[in-house]
Structure 1
């Protein structure tokens, strides 16, 4: 299983348009980018590939990275930075099955699968397939499990991807705070690679109107506001999951410039063979 990080940034990406902060300047000087979130998973045994979330930067990502177009996709939730790239299916794909959760969101009155189907009903190439959370299903020769996480006010899911023949495992936290349910943690546990939402360092919680949540024994917040994990929270979750390797993704340009490109923060284009 080959995993390519196509997009490792948050909703504005780094560098952020119109921003001249130290971190955005440093990214330009380094020639690195964190575009909106998307992960490419290639099953080299079957010569098939899967795309996890459809970044608005889809076109740029596939023009600049040496990966094949996906045979199928997964949508974790319906925020624009994870779904709006699906419009690129027009005139690019002959067919594209897209998989998403079937659980009705009280906030929208629809499941993620229903929202995808409604939003992109004009794309004849796209077929939407719904799945119950925590129930494994097969795509591209891989076993996938959508796992509920906590990203208020919308329902959101992480994802476990396992190769049933080699045992290789990728776990993706999805957009979430630290309060990932225990059943979801169990499904994500023991990955060879863990991609964890870590929007900012815990020190920046003092600047959030709601501060931080889910403090550890030393009072360090593992959640920034209500929706995303801090760097410290993501690393604590990685420890709890017994992750062999962790890359921090969905990071914002608010990281101080002297911390923004330190390990284990990911940048676009990283590739891992599991």
Structure 2
């Protein structure tokens, strides 16, 4: 399994347009980018590839990274920075399977799979395939499981992707309050990609601060929706991850911390 991090940023990316903060300026100096979230997986046995989330930066990512167009996609949730790139399927694919959860979200009164069907009903190039949480399915030679996480107010799912004895876990967009059953499914990965939108220190500027504090009072959730860096690292330790990369990163990291390990940037590749 070859893992390519196509997009490692949050909803505005880094550099953020028209932003002159120290972190965006440092990104420009280094020539690095964190576009909106997406992960590309290549199965070297079947010669197929799978895309996790359809970034609005889809076109840019596939023009700048040397990876093939996917044979299938999985969508974790319906926020635009994870879904709206799906419109790029127009004229690029003959029939693209798009996998998503079938669980009805009380906020939208439909599942992630249903929302994709409704929003992209004009695309005759995609086939939406529904899956129950914790139900393993197979695509591109991978065994894939959608696991519920905590990203209020909408339902969101982390992912477990296995190929033989190899395991990749993605937390999805989530607070630190990941359900125990999902933690069990995500545990012991060879590589963990964990949402870590800001350092815990930035919780001081959030209207509701932070949540899920550790024993020293450090918040592991920023507001309600995303883990802090400290929360993501604590979760990685709890999950016994062999290797961890922090993703879905905002430009609110201080410039001296923004590109330090284990914070990821676009284009990183890992062979598992």
- TM norm structure 2: 1.00
Q: Which runs of 5+ in 2 are unaligned?
A: none
Match of 1:243 among 229, 233, 241: 241
Q: Deviations over 1:51-80 (max 9, x none)?
A: 000000000000000000000000000000
Q: Does 1:140 align with 2:163?
A: no
Equivalent position SS for 1:104: coil
Question: Structure 1 residue 135: deviation in Å?
Answer: 1.0
Q: Deviations over 1:217-270 (max 9, x none)?
A: 000000000000000000000000000000000000000000000000000000
Aligned to 1:15: 15
Aligned to 2:192: 194
Aligned to 2:129: 129
Q: Does 1:86 align with 2:70?
A: no
CA RMSD in angstroms comes to 0.4
Aligned to 2:43: 43
Q: Does 1:252 align with 2:250?
A: yes
Q: Report matched runs for 1:149-228 at 5 Å.
A: 149-164=149-164, 167-228=165-226
Task: Report the Cα distance in structure 1 between the residues aligned to 2:96 and 2:116, rounded to whole angstroms.
Answer: 13
How many pairs align? 272
Task: Report the Cα distance in structure 2 between the residues aligned to 1:118 and 1:180, rounded to whole angstroms.
Answer: 29
**Which 4+ stretches in 1 moved above 3 angstroms?**
none
Aligned to 1:54: 54
Task: Report the Cα distance in structure 1 between the residues aligned to 2:137 and 2:186, rounded to whole angstroms.
Answer: 15
Question: Structure 1 residue 95: deviation in Å?
Answer: 1.1
Question: Structure 1 residue 211: deviation in Å?
Answer: 0.2
Equivalent position SS for 1:6: strand
Task: Report the Cα distance in structure 2 between the residues aligned to 1:91 and 1:20, rounded to whole angstroms.
Answer: 37
Equivalent position SS for 2:130: strand
Q: Deviations over 1:91-125 (max 9, x none)?
A: 11111000000000000000000000111111101
Task: Report the Cα distance in structure 2 between the residues aligned to 1:241 and 1:19, rounded to whole angstroms.
Answer: 36
Question: Structure 1 residue 180: deviation in Å?
Answer: 0.2
Task: Report the Cα distance in structure 2 between the residues aligned to 1:121 and 1:204, rounded to whole angstroms.
Answer: 40
Q: Deviations over 1:127-176 (max 9, x none)?
A: 00000001111011110000000000000000000003xx1110000000
Aligned to 1:112: 112
- TM norm structure 1: 0.99
Task: Report the Cα distance in structure 2 between the residues aligned to 1:12 and 1:204, rounded to whole angstroms.
Answer: 17
Aligned to 2:67: 67
Task: Report the Cα distance in structure 2 between the residues aligned to 1:87 and 1:20, rounded to whole angstroms.
Answer: 31
Aligned to 2:264: 266
